[in-house]
Each structure stands twice: as structure tokens, then as C-alpha cells.
């Protein structure tokens, strides 16, 4: 596979986001199946695995450490701090955003233990805690780098302005943000800022949380999502927004057929051709989908077809915001009026 820059590292043009194996989309797969997928990805040449303290409230880091720890030299290990689970009054863990330096230091120590390593290659601030100056959070991460606990610093879901503030404290190797045909907000500033600063733009949910892969072909499929599936709370998968998005889905699938690839591969190939500093990290729980995603690196899209895809799926044609308003308020990205 083509290799791209991720800070000082060279990684495959398509990496693997590990969240799905422990978090966010209903009941996760059995541990043996999750381990099988990770090892198969490694065997296929994947050398970029992305996890976080939040995913499964530490369970995903434990999974990655247990399964891939013995192969540590073969891949770039990425994790995140600044958003994790803490026990609530009833003892159950709840999600919190906490970018205080002391929390970042402790989260890193916990991550190193769970990941069974002495250093994390790229460590992101998962969300900017707006109660803490970005300079303070990045300063704490710079201390971790000087101590040899991490090798590079990243940010997640931030604006170009926040990226530049952080970069003035310490060079930022990568910005991770949702980016796909139906989530185009990085094009409002941060994609270009990353290029100027020499940072990678790591695209999570590059196939639209499954929508661009055909996983939600109709309203019944959306209604059948598991109770713990975060898409149930996302406007794009609800009511009139979902109906509006389904109206262009068949035309999108027809363009994929014309390109000689699957709908998921069309979405990934579009990202790869958009700019050389973009690195998608699709997640999946199925080996067949993993293989399908990685094969997108071999797809070349004609310029005229790219134009037709972009005319079909864009900020004017996609209906609904990425998140519910309360969640969107926690994020520091630029947005179109439509919420893309």
C-alpha cells in the first residue's frame, strides 16, 4: 500500500480505527473475533492502529495491547487523552472531557499500562476542554514527549485557529477529524492549515458511519440500530433528515458501480485523491469489510466522476447535523450552516 506521512512516521494510506471493536455501535464483537480482525489487519500490512482511553472506557486500549503488544515494532501506535470515562455517583462510568495537565498525565500512564508499551507513537488530545487553555493541555503533552512517554502530539476535532494556537506551543503532527463526502467541514480551514503546518489530516468515519457503505439502506434499518448505537442520536439518521439523505443514496451507489468499486471504496478513494496528507482510518468489526476498505487504496477515480460525486454529496445535499446540539457544542470545528 502507498505510504503517507503521519508526523515523523510513514503509515499506510489507510489505517484502522479500533473504536468499533469496543464502543459506540451497540454490542461489540466477541473478544476472539476482535483479536482475529486486528491480527488479520496486521498480516495485510496495516501499520497504523488508532485507539483511545474513551473507547470502552479503557477496554479498547487493553484489547490493542493484549493482541498487538507482541508485534509492537510493526506498527505506529496511536491513542488519545482528554476524554475518558469516570465513575458517576452510581458507580457507572460516564464520559467526561478533561484537558487539565494532571489528568492528561494520569491518562497517559493508564494508557501505557493498558497498551503494554513504554511509549505511544502519536497521542491526541481527543477533545479540547474549553475550560482549559489549549496551550496548557498541549504543554502537558509536550512534557510527556520530553519524558519519552509519547513521540508526537495530535489534536482531534479542532478548528484551524485552535490548531495554530497549539502549534505555537509544540509542533502538531496530526489533526483527527470526521471527514467524508458527507462531512466536509475540514475543507473550511483545518485541511489547508494542516498542509501549511506539515500535519496529517486523519479522517475518522470516512464512510459516513456506514451510510456511504450502504449500511443504512432505508428507515427500517435505522430504526433497527441497537440501543447503544450512537447513530440513534445523530440527526442524519433520523426522520426527515434520513429521508432526504436516502433520496440520493441510490445515485451514489450507481456512481460506485460506474467506478468499478463498492460504495465504501468510492468514499475512501475520494478522500485519498483529495490530498496527499489525508489518512483515513475506517473502522469495522468484520474481516470482509476490512479487506474491502484496504482495497480502496488501489482505486483510481476519473476526474469527471469525482466532480459528479461531489455534486451529488455535499453541504447542500446532505441533511442534518453530525451530532445533536449538546454534543456539537463540545466540538471546536468549523461548520457549514447545515452542520456538515
How many folded domains does the chain comprise?
Answer: 1
What's the order of all strands across the beta sheet hosting 174-178? 16-17, 48-50, 76-81, 122-125, 153-156, 174-178, 200-204, 278-280
- The model carries a pTM of 0.96
Question: What number of CA atoms fall less than 13 Å from residue 202's CA on the CB side?
Answer: 32
Among residues 55, 124, 252, 323, the one annotated as catalytic is 55
pLDDT at 56 over 90: yes
Note if 323 is an active site residue: no
CATH number at residue 109: 3.20.20.100
Q: How far is CA 147 from each of CA 103, 108, 125, 142, 152, rounded to the nearest angstrom? A: 16, 12, 17, 9, 12
pLDDT, one tens digit per residue, over 136-178 is 999 999 999 999 999 999 999 999 999 999 999 999 999 999 9
pLDDT, one tens digit per residue, over 204-219 is 999 999 999 999 999 9
Is there a domain that residue 57 lies in?
yes
pLDDT, one tens digit per residue, over 81-108 is 999 998 888 888 899 999 999 999 999 9
Is there a domain that residue 80 lies in?
yes
Under the banding of pLDDT at 50, 70 and 90, the label for residue 14 is very high
Is there a domain that residue 41 lies in?
yes
Mean pLDDT of 116-126: 98
The three-state secondary structure class of 84 is strand
Is there a domain that residue 33 lies in?
yes
Mean pLDDT of 45-71: 97
Is there a domain that residue 14 lies in?
yes
Is there a domain that residue 232 lies in?
no
pLDDT at 339 over 80: no
pLDDT at 338 over 80: no
> Which domain does 163 fall in, by range?
3-211+274-299
Is there a domain that residue 7 lies in?
yes
Confidence at residue 87, expressed as pLDDT on a 0 to 100 scale: 85
Confidence at residue 31, expressed as pLDDT on a 0 to 100 scale: 96
Radius of gyration over every alpha carbon of the chain, rounded to an integer in angstroms: 19
Distance of CA 339 to the CA centre of its chain: 18
Amino acid at each position: 500500500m502507498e505510504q503517507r506521512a503521519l508526523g515523523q512516521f510513514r503509515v499506510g494510506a489507510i489505517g484502522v480505527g479500533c473504536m468499533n471493536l469496543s464502543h459506540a455501535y451497540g454490542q461489540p464483537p466477541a473478544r476472539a473475533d476482535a483479536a482475529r480482525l486486528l491480527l488479520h489487519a496486521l498480516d495485510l500490512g496495516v501499520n497504523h492502529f488508532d485507539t483511545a482511553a474513551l473507547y470502552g472506557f479503557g477496554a479498547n486500549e487493553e484489547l490493542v495491547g493484549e493482541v498487538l503488544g507482541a508485534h509492537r515494532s510493526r506498527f505506529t501506535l496511536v491513542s488519545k487523552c482528554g476524554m475518558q470515562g469516570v465513575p458517576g455517583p452510581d458507580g457507572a462510568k460516564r464520559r467526561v472531557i478533561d484537558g487539565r495537565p494532571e489528568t492528561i498525565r494520569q491518562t497517559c500512564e493508564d494508557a501505557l499500562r493498558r497498551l503494554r508499551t513504554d511509549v505511544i507513537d502519536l497521542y491526541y488530545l481527543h477533545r479540547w476542554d474549553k475550560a482549559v487553555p489549549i496551550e496548557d493541555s498541549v504543554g502537558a503533552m509536550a512534557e510527556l514527549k520530553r519524558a519519552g512517554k509519547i513521540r508526537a502530539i495530535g489534536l482531534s476535532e479542532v478548528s484551524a485557529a485552535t490548531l495554530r494556537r497549539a502549534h505555537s506551543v509544540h509542533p502538531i503532527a496530526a489533526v483527527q477529524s470526521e471527514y467524508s463526502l458527507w462531512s466536509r467541514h475540514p475543507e473550511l480551514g483545518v485541511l489547508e492549515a494542516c498542509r501549511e503546518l506539515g500535519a496529517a489530516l486523519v479522517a475518522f468515519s470516512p464512510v459516513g458511519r456506514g451510510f456511504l457503505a450502504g449500511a443504512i439502506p432505508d428507515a427500517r434499518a435505522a430504526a433497527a440500530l441497537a440501543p447503544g448505537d450512537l447513530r440513534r442520536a445523530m440527526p442524519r439518521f433520523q426522520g426527515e433528515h434520513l429521508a432526504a439523505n436516502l433520496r440520493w443514496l441510490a445515485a451514489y451507489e450507481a456512481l460506485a458501480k460506474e467506478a468499478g468499486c463498492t460504495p465504501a471504496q468510492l468514499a475512501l478513494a475520494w478522500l485519498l485523491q483529495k490530498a496527499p496528507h489525508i489518512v483515513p482510518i475506517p473502522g469495522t468489526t468484520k474481516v470482509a469489510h476490512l479487506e474491502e476498505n484496504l482495497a480502496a487504496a488501489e482505486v483510481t477515480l476519473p476526474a469527471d466522476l469525482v466532480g459528479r460525486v461531489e455534486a451529488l454529496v455535499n453541504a447542500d445535499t446532505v441533511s442534518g447535523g453530525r451530532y445533536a446540539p449538546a454534543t456539537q457544542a463540545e466540538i471546536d470545528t468549523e461548520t457549514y450552516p447545515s452542520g456538515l
